[in-house]
Every structure is written in C-alpha cells, then in structure tokens.
Amino acid sequence: MIENLLTSAMLAYDPLNLLLIFVGALLGTLFGGTPGISATLSIALLVPVTFGMTPINGLSFLGGAYCGAIYGGSISAILINVPGTPAAVATMMDGYELTKKGQAGVALGGAITASLFGGLIGTFVLLVAAPLVAAAALNIRSAEFFWIVVFAMSTVGAIGGGSVTKGLIAAFLGLILGAVGTHPFTGSLRFTFGVPGLYEGFPVIVGIVGLFSISQVLYLCHGKGMDKQIDIPKIGSLWPGWARILKVKITYIRSAILGTFVGVLPGAGADIASFIGRNEAHRFSKNPSEYGKGSYEAVVGSEAANNAVVGGSLVPMLTLGIPGNAVSAALIGGLLIHGLLPGPRLFTEQAGIIYPFILSLFAANIFFAIAAFAGLKYLAKVVLIPQGVLASVVAILSVLGALSYRNMVADLWIMLFLGVVGYVLRRTGFPLAPIILGIILGPLAESNLERVMTIANARGMSLLEYFTSNTLTVVLMVMSVAALIYSVVREIRHQRSGKALMPLDE
Amino acid sequence: MTKSDTRVLVTIAALVVYGAIMPFLGFFLTSAAFLLLHMLYLGVRGPLWLTAPIVGLLGTAWFLFENFLGVPLPHGMVY
C-alpha cells in the first residue's frame, strides 16, 4: 500500500504532470472567476483538450480545473457582488460586505485559505475512503446496486435546492434520455429515430455541453453584450493573519467535514454545501449578529465547504460510477474518453491511473492557492470580459467540445437540440443536474435490473420476492422511499412558508 | 416578446445556420464569421474585444487540436 502510494506520487508529481495540474488549476480559477461560467461548464469545455494526453495527465489537468473553478467563483463574488459560480452565492453575502468596508483583501484571503483547507481535507477523505468503498462495492450484487442507483436518484429531490417536483421531473426526463440508444441486453435500437449518432445513446460529454453550456450561451444573450462599466475595487493585503484564522479554526474544520459529506450525497453539490457550511457556522457562531454584515467567519464557513465537495463528490463517482454532482458528471466524460469506466474495478484494474489522479488533487489545491496569493490582481481581470464576448466564445468552445468527441457533425445538432431544451427547462425553473444524473444512471440501473430479472426468473421468484429476500436491498428500498417522503414533506412545508428556495445548478 | 427573447431566438437561428454552413466552409472560417457577427449583433464594440477572442480562441484551437493533440476538426472547401 505504502509502496503503491510512493509510485503513484512519483507519477502524480512528475514535472510535466505538475505543470498540467498548475495550468488546469489556473484555467479553472479563471473560468470559475468569470461570472456566467460555472464549474460544470469549465470541466465540460476543458475535457476535449485532454484527448491527446495520457490518462494521468488528462485527469490531473481536469482535477486541477475542478478545484480551481470551485475556488475561483469566490473572486467575483467578493469583488463585484456577482457569483462566479453558484457555489459562491453563499460567499457573496458576507464577502461583498467586507469589500464595501474596504476589506476586500481579508475576504479574498479568507476564501483562499478556506478553499485550500477544505480542498485538502476533501481530497484526504477521498484518498482514505474511496479504496474502502471500492473494495466493499466489489461484493455488491445487481439487486443492491440497482437500489443504490434508485436511492441516488431519489435524493435529488430531498437535498436539491429548487422545487422537489421539478427536480424529480427533471430526473425522469434524464432517465428517458438515458434510454435512447442500443438496448444493453437485446441490442435492439430505441428512440434513435434513425440517427446513427444516437445508436450509442446520448454521448455524456455532448449531453453536458448541450444542456449546460448552450443553455448558458442563450442566458448570456439576455442582456446587452456590453453595457455597464465594471470597476474592480482596491484589494490590499491578502493575508488575513494567523490571529483571524485561528479564531475561527473550528469553522474551517466543521465546514470542511460538512462539505465533504454533502459532496458524497448524489443530489447535492458545491452550491448547496456552501449554504449548509455557512448556516452551520452561523448556528455555532460566537458572533452571529455579524453575519450578513461582513463576517470573516461566514466567508470561511461557505468557502471551506464548497471546496471540500470536490473530494467528496469523487468518492461515489469513482467507486460506483454515481456522480455526486453535475461537475463530477462532467468529469465522467473525461474518464470515458480515456476508456476508463468508473466503478469499483477502477481501483484494482486501473490503480496505476486512479491513485496518481487522487494524489494530484493535493497539488491542485496548493497551486490555485499559490496562484491566487501571487496574482489575484490579474486573475480578477476576468470579471471585465463583456457578456457578449463570453456568449459567442462559449458557443464556439461548446462546438469544439461536441465535435472533438468523435468528429461527427451530428453531435453538433444533438448538442444544439439539448441546448434549447435545457434553456427552456431553466427558464421554467427546472434544474439541469438531475437530467445529467438520469442520463448517466439510467443505463446503470437498467443493466442491473435486467440481470436481477434474469436471476429472479431462473429461481422462479417474482421481482419483489427476490428484492425482499435480501436485507441490504430492503434497507435501500426503505431509504429510497424515506428520501421521497422527506422531499414531499419538505416541498409542502416550503410552499406553506412561502420562502424562496435556494438556487440550484452548478 | 421582449428584446432579450429576440436575442435568444436570433442566437439559436445563428447556431443553426452555423451548423448548416460548417460542412462547406470548415470549422475555422465558419467559427470566425460566427464570432464576429454574433458579437457585433450583441453590441460588443471596440477593436480589441472584437478581434482578440477570434484570434485567441481559433488560434489556440488550431494549435492545440490540429497540431498538438492530433484531433482533426471539420475542414471545408477553402480550409
């Protein structure tokens, strides 16, 4: 084990790989810092760049971008009161207040240190937990796996930010899209409408580029391309000082742990983690009245949580193939183009790739922190890019992403179609992340269910009899139903209280 | 229909035309034309903002995909 880690570390920290992690972290920070480009988009747009790289190089580069993008969102949130990514919405509330008081540097420094700390903790948990989960998952049988997938889908409504009904509808829409293509057992074609590009189903990366980035292009076209003058406030010293950091050390730790845990849950991502991190910091705070008026503790509370999500979200993604959020779903696209199928076998058959990738995330966190401390003044310039330029550039980047996947012009039309669908859904308040979960998890659930049906048939049992003959399956069934009931209760309570739910989508 | 709805519909139409023309003109020429016209349409002004994205993005794409990564992009009659 120790020897393996040393070999992996040598692969992860060789000079070329370190350079790629650094470039990835830097690009991620720039993309994340740009209002309008979320972490999901950053990954989806950068996946094609990794085509010609070795799997370790490519994944390390994307991992760097993931860490950087989640951090980067805080820059524009703190400086100009516009979240760079939805994960930074919670940071904005106190970060911008600090900027108004002339303490932008303190808020930015708090965000860097908290993101670094949260990111390292999340990665550490990933390194320790993932092999254990993977080892346990090797013994999971089809019936249990099917219900794990169902449970993952049912939590979408329970934890997600927006309307539960709409979240579940979106998840079902994803399942339908996931059914397109060749039937996994019989090989017959479903819903392909004679389009050869659909025979293998909706390609994950084309789907993500379409749903997230083309719909975002259309959103960016809402306003005038170039209207108001943006001023970047004076930043000042970034180092918050040990006194400030140690005073809220518990908040750093609590949010990092909470963020990792939220990351593991299938329905929730960095946006929700940052809200939870901030809320819990508020609840345990010695100075709760400062919240909303420029509290350093609040910035730390949200930022440590959202970067901890990175490591957490990769646990179910790498070990089970169940992405913890939309960003890691995009990362699955990055794995697939290198022929890596996420799942428990990754840790035995592809250990030589997966461990270096996990170890590279430590470097990624350190690199975005170094880049931010050294050059925040320059990184912050991305907020000056006019919306019109962004809209056009993201459109062409999306085309690049769709075309380079398999060089088929049909993918361009699939992308455009999903883009318009995604736009209409977002306009009407549907979250997009559950759709991607559905596209990825649908086939996974189906192939396991087919296997279960074959086994149950052979034993002369009905499906329900077979499911209830196993304790773990029953536990998972109960958990799925409980998650659904909880979602419905939560929705009803929210509608009665009339309070706005927090925004979804990364 | 508001002004922003118009901008969205025009953008969708522009992307459809883009996809229809690409097999003939190739990725690079079509994209350059799309970027310039779309940015002008959205109200982007100034020589730097209108040229830097086209040169920077397509230059990087050309270097990365065609030379470095060896991933071919659709070519047309001219390039």
pLDDT tens over chain A, length 506 residues: 677 888 999 999 999 999 999 999 999 999 999 998 999 999 999 998 898 889 999 999 999 999 999 999 999 999 999 898 988 999 999 999 999 999 999 999 999 999 999 999 999 999 999 999 999 999 888 999 999 999 988 887 666 556 788 888 888 899 999 888 888 778 888 888 878 878 888 888 888 999 999 999 999 998 887 766 778 888 888 898 899 999 999 999 999 999 999 999 877 788 889 999 999 999 999 989 999 999 999 999 999 999 999 999 999 999 999 987 889 989 998 998 888 999 899 998 999 999 999 999 999 999 999 999 999 999 999 988 999 999 999 999 999 988 888 888 889 999 999 999 999 999 998 888 888 888 989 988 998 999 999 999 999 888 888 888 888 999 999 999 998 888 888 788 877 776 554 544 43
**Residue of A486, A451, A442, A472 lying closest to A150 (CA atoms):** A442
Nearest to B53 among A218, A393, A416 (CB): A393
The chain B residue lying nearest A214, using CA atoms, is B12
Strand-pair partners of A182: A189
| Phi, psi for A182 (deg, rounded to 5) | -75, 130
What is the predicted pLDDT for the residue at A504? 41
pLDDT for A211? 92
Task: Please give the Cα distance from A4 to A2 (Å, whole number).
Answer: 5
Q: Give the tokens for residue A456.
A: 């149950």
Query: Looking at the partner chain, which of A225, A397, A403 has a beta carbon nearest the beta carbon of B39?
Result: A225
Q: State the nearest Cα–Cα gap between A225 and chain B, in angstroms.
A: 5
pLDDT band at B2 (very low <50, low <70, confident <90, very high): confident
Task: Kindly determine whether residue A392 and residue B8, on different chains, have CB atoms separated by under 8 Å.
Answer: no
Tokens at residue A411, please? 């993918």
Residue A503's pLDDT is 43
Give the whole-angstrom CA distance, residue A229 versus residue A247: 38
Q: Which residues of A203-235 are buried (b: 16+ CB within 10 A; e: fewer)?
A: bbbbbbbbbbbbbbbbbbbebbbbeeeeeeeeb
Cβ contacts of B68 on chain A, cutoff 8 Å: 52
Residues B13-24: pLDDT tens digits?
999 999 999 989
CA dihedral B37, B42, B43, B45 (to 10 degrees): -50
CA atoms within 13 A on the CB side of A414: 29
So what's the ipTM on this one? 0.96
Q: How would you label B34-68 residue by residue, b for 16+ Cβ within 10 Å and e otherwise? A: bbbebbebbebeeeebbeebbeebbeebeebbeee
With beta carbons less than 8 A apart as the criterion, state whether A332 and A342 touch. Answer: yes
Per the listing, tokens 């100009």 go with: A80
Distances (CA, A) of A133 to A21, A96, A325: 26, 40, 18
pTM: predicted TM-score of the whole model, two decimal places: 0.92
Place of tokens 């979320």: A38
Q: How far apart are CA A95 and CA A301, in angstroms?
A: 11
